[in-house]
Chains A and B, each alone.
Chain A
Amino acid sequence: MPSWAEFQPYIVTGLALGGLYALSGVGLVVLYRATGVLNLAFGAVGAMGAFIAYSIIQAGNPGWLGWITCILFGGVVTLGYGLVFGPALAGRGPLVQSVSTLGLALVLFGAIDLAWPTTGGQSPSISFPTDNGGFSVGQLQVNWTQVIALALGIVITAGTGAFLRYTKLGTAMRAMANDREITATLGVPVRRVEAAAWLGCGLLSGIAGIMLADLSALDDTTLVFTVVISSLAAALIGRLRSIPVTFVAALVIGLVHDLITPINSIANYQDMTPFVLAAVALLVMSRGQVMTRSREEG
């Protein structure tokens, strides 16, 4: 067993990663509650945005242009998908709607591989100016990007919670999570509220994509699948409903995932963390519950 000192640096990276998983998980939960769709293309959209940002920066443009493009790309693509397929699949149930987003994920995944083929040479990467600056706590080096990642996770979780509670749009989203039909009858512009949820989820996927490309790696398989699986696990532990639980679960997943790194015997299995934690959580939570309602709601 490694000593405590060996674990310390991974607390920082784990929390940073957890912050981004939290942000992603919250995006997934909000969209799911408002529209009934679990956006499985979340990671793919962010990944494509990050690759576009990489190309923009490679072309000699300033960094901020790439970052903003990435975030906007996430918003536009996700909103576009939502506008086209949201109404087309409405009423087909969350399962079909969510599987359909896998189609978008496949399209983007193929497109990324096609446009940015993996070659033997220098692998693409994205770095922020904040990577170099930082401070130290005791012997721990913390850079500003990690601080930003965790802060974004906290701010967006808290912000989303407040948004859902105090704004008119947020109230409409909560109402739609309960009953879409009744909400529509009460005069809420359902399509417009859904579009807002898609846009929000897409912007978050762009943010998550660009940040993870820096903190983790600009690699399509990692960005498309690991991110989705980790934040899905967090959302799942939150029962696709609770934003605070999702936040905590995401932090735990990020922490456990990184803290395993120095333990040699199981380090290779660290990517299984979300699966194991979600499976255990589901097992514990499903005890004594009979969930055979035909209507699937969170």
Chain B
Amino acid sequence: MIDTAGPKAPAQARRGPGLERRVYIRAAVIAVLLLLALLVLPLLMSAYYTDTMTQVAIYSIVTLGLGLLVGRVGLYSLGQLAVLTIGAWVGARLLFGTGQPYILVLIEAGLVTMIIGSLITLPALRLRGLYLALITLMLAGGVTVIEATINFPNGGGGFSGYNGSLLHIPQIRRPSFAGTDPAFYRFSVIVAIVMFLLVFAHLKMRPGRAWAAIKQSEPSALAAGINTTFYKLWAMALAAFVTGVAGALLAGADRELFSIDFPIQNSIELLAVVLMGGAFALTGAVIAAFLQAFIPALLQIWGVPNDWLIILFGIGVMQVLATAPGGIADQFPKDMMRLYRRITRGRSRPAAAIIGSGGAAGPPGTGSVSTGPAGNGGGTA
């Protein structure tokens, strides 16, 4: 999806016209899906699913940012949910405190979050990967503590904008053109598209190449003249920016924010879904957002405790890291291909397939490597 788009004349010509066509087909499919999501879905969805899909759109921005860090630069951040709540806090505060247009607030929240996020992670960026992961985990804990203490703005005065004794809590305002739930859903999808394009553009240009070099090997990148700390900080800042925008969007979507809605385990869940969805492809971010925001809503309707999902995510993380590092975005098409081949092969000798499925483990070669999250994602993606 990333490497093939765009006209790069000589290399592209050598790879033949088939690839070009595949790119166009893929772009067309994405465009059709987006149009469906923007125009048709709002007409079909109940209020509950409109809310849920708004969350999916917002969380796709968050998983986009985290996927960028994990998949492109190799920075495992466990504090991305904390970054989201910083964005939500700043967004809510600005929306209550000022009369600025909503879109301006989105950008401002993104910028403030970017500055805070960069400042906090700056000391850790000089350290190696594991330390960064640990520092961000502690950051997540720290931010949770701060937010539990100062609370989210609810229309009160002062710096925190929180007033515990308010009887009537005003709702966080939405833009005038997106006041209703379906309209706000459309607005969220459009913002998400813009954020995806922003990250996509970064990946296609100089920073993207620098990140790729850093991910391969930091010493080599350094030797090639890449300022690794600068570009790592850039990635962190970009991820914090889009996550901050998502936070301000979340403020408008939820209309009231409570620190209890962002427990610390969600930070870890977020990394889990990003790894499961696939950190190396932008589609992985969308799959991850569905895992994070859509499946819990589905489970709630079905009356299944959310804890099962946490357990499933835990198993998914271990399985993805051990056998399918590309996540669902990478593994699912492969599994489908393998399934297709097995079905077509099975037609010629059905007896073998029956014997194979009868055994507990199955003969080597027929057992699919990835059954857990890939199969699970198949139902939702």
Contacts and interface: CB of A to CB of B under 8 A. Distances in A.
Interface in A67-108: 85, 88-89, 92-96, 98-100, 102-108
A236 B131 contact: yes
Dominant SS among interface residues on chain A = helix
Given A225-B264, A269-B146, A282-B131, A110 B309 contact: yes
25 contacts: A94-B130, A95-B76, A95-B129, A95-B130, A99-B76, A99-B321, A100-B321, A103-B316, A103-B318, A103-B321, A105-B314, A107-B315, A110-B311, A113-B305, A221-B263, A225-B265, A232-B134, A233-B138, A269-B146, A272-B146, A276-B142, A278-B138, A282-B127, A282-B135, A292-B228
Nearest to A268: B149
Given A114-B305, A275-B141, A286-B123, A292 B310 contact: no
Interface residues of B, number: 51
A202 B117 CA distance: 35
A168 interface: no
B141 A99 contact: no
B307 A114 contact: yes
Contacts of B313: 103, 106, 110
Contact of B272 (A106, A226, A289): A106
Contact of B317 (A106, A113, A226, A278): A106
Interface string B95-137: 0000000000000000000000000000110111111011101
B142 A105 contact: no
Contacts of B249: none
B145 A291 contact: no
A181 interface: no
A179 B282 CA distance: 37
A236 B142 CA distance: 16
Given A85-B322, A292-B222, A292-B228, A99 B145 contact: no
What are the 7 A-B residue pairs with the smallest beta carbon separation, nearest first?
A106-B314, A110-B310, A103-B317, A107-B314, A103-B318, A110-B311, A275-B138
A109 B310 CA distance: 8
B273 to A, nearest CB: 11
Contacts of A102: 78, 268, 271-272, 314, 317
B216 to A, nearest CB: 9
B130 A103 contact: no
Contacts of B128: 291-293, 296
B366 interface: no
Contacts of A233: 138
A1 interface: no
B134 A236 contact: yes
Nearest to A44: B314
Given A99-B321, A106-B272, A294 B138 contact: no
Contacts of B335: none
B272 A221 contact: no
Given A94-B129, A229-B138, 14 more contacts: A40-B137, A89-B321, A89-B322, A99-B321, A103-B313, A105-B314, A106-B268, A111-B307, A113-B307, A269-B146, A272-B141, A272-B145, A279-B138, A282-B135
